[in-house]
């Protein structure tokens, strides 16, 4: 699964990335950057394509389907398995028009060893900030206000990640990101082919302190190497 991640960049660095990768010239951040411990129910920086251009904004992490009876269901839908997307009503209809990416520079995973869970910070070598594949939804509350939410798609772990956990978030390459975000592309099989484990030779990790276990902790101590 993917239950925590980071975006350890300054606001200026983020603007450079948005301009270089998505031709987005401006963005007003609602949160201080860097982010050291992003957790479910928090707003995450996401990219979509509206058919003409890329757009950036915030989505709440924890998908609430448009037909949900209670928005609290989002707490149970922070991840979606790539292998079963078409089988789940909550996700199947979103694949055509609600694809997006979430920006991160690393994610955390906990290695289970008997009764101990040890946290690791995992990143990739060939990109400072990388896109995680996601699906988004719009839920209308009884008062008429709209809630924009997102889930992060996971896949089976590659050989590198298997040492830590059996699953990992889908990290898109530059090529697969273009396919994933192109809503003019309705070739479902090609779209789903993007959802595969990242090249294990391009990944790195190190152990961090259990300090990161609490989502209330949001500072550089979260990423300090043990």
54, two tokens: 């890329």
* 109 catalytically annotated: yes
43 burial via Cβ count (<10 Å: 0-12, 13-18, 19+): middle
Which is the catalytic residue, given 2, 100, 194, 222?
2
3-state SS track over the chain: CCCCEEECCCHHHHHHHHHHHHCCCCCCCCCCCCEEEECCCCEEEEEEECCCCEEEEEEEECCCCCCCCCHHHHHHCCEEEHHHHHHCHHHHCHHHHCEEEEEECEEEEEEEECCEEEEEEEEECCCCCEEEEEEEEEEECCCCCEEEEEEEEEEECCCCHHHCCCEEECECCHHHHHHHHCCCCCCHHHHHCCCCCCCHHHEEEEEECHHHHCCCCCCHHHHCEC
Residue whose token pair is 């609430």: 64
Which is the catalytic residue, given 28, 52, 71, 109?
109
* 166 catalytically annotated: no
Active site residues: 2, 109
């Amino acid at each position: 699964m993917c239950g925590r991640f980071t975006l350890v960049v300054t606001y200026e660095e983020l603007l450079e990335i948005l301009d270089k990768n998505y031709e987005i010239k401006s963005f007003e951040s609602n949160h201080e950057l860097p982010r050291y411990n992003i957790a479910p129910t928090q707003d995450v920086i996401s990219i979509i394509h509206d058919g003409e251009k890329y757009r950036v904004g915030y989505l709440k992490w924890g998908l609430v389907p448009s037909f949900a009876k209670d928005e609290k269901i989002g707490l149970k839908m922070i991840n979606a398995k790539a292998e079963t997307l078409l089988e789940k009503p909550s996700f199947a209809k979103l694949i055509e028009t609600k694809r997006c990416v979430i920006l991160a520079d690393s994610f955390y995973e906990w290695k289970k060893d008997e009764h101990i869970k040890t946290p690791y910070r995992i990143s990739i070598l060939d990109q400072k900030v990388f896109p995680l594949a996601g699906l988004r939804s719009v839920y209308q509350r009884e008062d008429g206000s709209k809630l924009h939410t997102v889930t992060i798609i996971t896949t089976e772990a590659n050989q590198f990640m298997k040492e830590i956990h059996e699953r990992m978030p889908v990290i898109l390459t530059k090529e697969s990101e273009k396919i994933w975000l192109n809503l003019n592309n309705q070739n479902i099989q090609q779209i789903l082919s993007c959802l595969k484990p990242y090249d294990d030779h391009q990944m790195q990790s190190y152990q961090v302190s259990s300090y990161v276990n609490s989502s209330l902790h949001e500072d550089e101590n979260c990423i300090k190497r043990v």
